[in-house]
Structure 1
Amino acid sequence: MKSGLLLMLLFVSTATMAKQLPSDAALERCLNNASATLAMNQCYVEATTFWDQQMNQHYNTLMKTLTGDAKNRLRIAQRAWLNYRDSWLEASRSQMATQGTLGSVTLSAQGLGLVRNQALMLQSLGKGSCANPDDC
């Protein structure tokens, strides 16, 4: 019984690792090699730059394929998301200021999470059949 449970846990963890995106693995390697908060923040800057490029690529692709009301609604939604992102990071920045040097790392991780998620959402929208952007 215990060996069966162990095998099942091993399978689940392997399946979970297989879903990891190459950019996520690169971030993990970078963070593992970072020895100071400045280096950790640089890891997040690089990852955020990658995901920002992905987000813009998916958005531009959608804007080329959509027409009329759908195109206008996407433009409005993306502008609203940009305002949300900026507002969230500003609110977080004021809270993280009290958390020492690791507060900046937390803020960098939050920024990455916001952009990564939006890029995946736009990718999902472009594919049209993904209920969960992680499935795309």
Structure 2
Amino acid sequence: MKPALLLTLLFTSAVAMAEDLPADASLDRCLNDASTTLAMNQCYAAATQAWDQEMNKQYSTLMKTLTGEPKNKLRAAQRAWLNYRDSWLEASRSQLTDQGTSGSVALGAQSLSLVRNQALMLQSQALGNCANPDDC
């Protein structure tokens, strides 16, 4: 099995496990209806945009609750994460360019995964680092 196809299947499986989240449920429906790689790329782009909005919301909410050093450290961490995300995607892009259209789908899935995970990390911080949000 090609590495790009394997990555796509892994990320799609992760999406299926997180169907209770609106952006992921929309992604799942979109991917089920997608019959081309262009359509799949559009699905991932829309989901990434939705998660990016959620990440920014969580970051903004958290920044409003912090002061002093914790606020400065969060700001620095988020900036470092943005650099990490961009570097990771650039490295992946250079590796996946010879994978054809499946490479672009894998890159879209990676981008989504990075942003979703960061949004959830910020949400966890805002909830007091609860392992289970229902416990907060």
Q: What are the superposed Cα offsets for residues 24-80 of structure 1, whole Å, 9 maximum, x if unpaired?
A: 111011001011111000000110010000000010111111000000000000000
CA contact (8 A) 2:54 2:119 kept: yes
- Secondary structure of the 1:97 match is helix
- Secondary structure of the 2:130 match is coil
Find the counterpart in structure 1 of residue 104 from structure 2: 104
Closer, same or farther: CA 18–100 of 1 in aligned 2, 3 Å: closer
Q: State the alpha-carbon separation in 2 of the partners of residues 48 and 92 from structure 1.
A: 16
AA aligned to 2:52 is: D
Work out whether 1:42 is the aligned partner of 2:67.
Answer: no
Larger radius of gyration: 1
Q: CA deviation at 1:20?
A: 3.0
Work out whether 1:66 is the aligned partner of 2:66.
Answer: yes
In structure 1, runs of 5+ residues without a counterpart are 1-15
Q: State the alpha-carbon separation in 2 of the partners of residues 30 and 48 from structure 1.
A: 13
Aligned length: 118
Q: State the alpha-carbon separation in 2 of the partners of residues 41 and 76 from structure 1.
A: 31
Q: State the alpha-carbon separation in 2 of the partners of residues 96 and 37 from structure 1.
A: 14
Q: State the alpha-carbon separation in 2 of the partners of residues 18 and 96 from structure 1.
A: 26
TM-score (norm 1): 0.82
Identity over aligned pairs, percent? 71
Q: What are the superposed Cα offsets for residues 91-112 of structure 1, whole Å, 9 maximum, x if unpaired?
A: 0000110111110000000000
Instruction: Flag the structure with more relative contact order, 1 or 2, with Cα contacts below 8 A and sequence separation at least 6.
Output: 2
AA aligned to 1:54 is: E
Closer, same or farther: CA 41–19 of 1 in aligned 2, 3 Å: closer
Work out whether 1:128 is the aligned partner of 2:119.
Answer: no
Q: CA deviation at 1:18?
A: 8.2
Q: State the alpha-carbon separation in 2 of the partners of residues 115 and 17 from structure 1.
A: 17
Find the counterpart in structure 2 of residue 4 from structure 1: none
In structure 2, runs of 5+ residues without a counterpart are 1-15
Q: CA RMSD in A?
A: 1.6
Find the counterpart in structure 1 of residue 21 from structure 2: 21
Find the counterpart in structure 1 of residue 88 from structure 2: 88
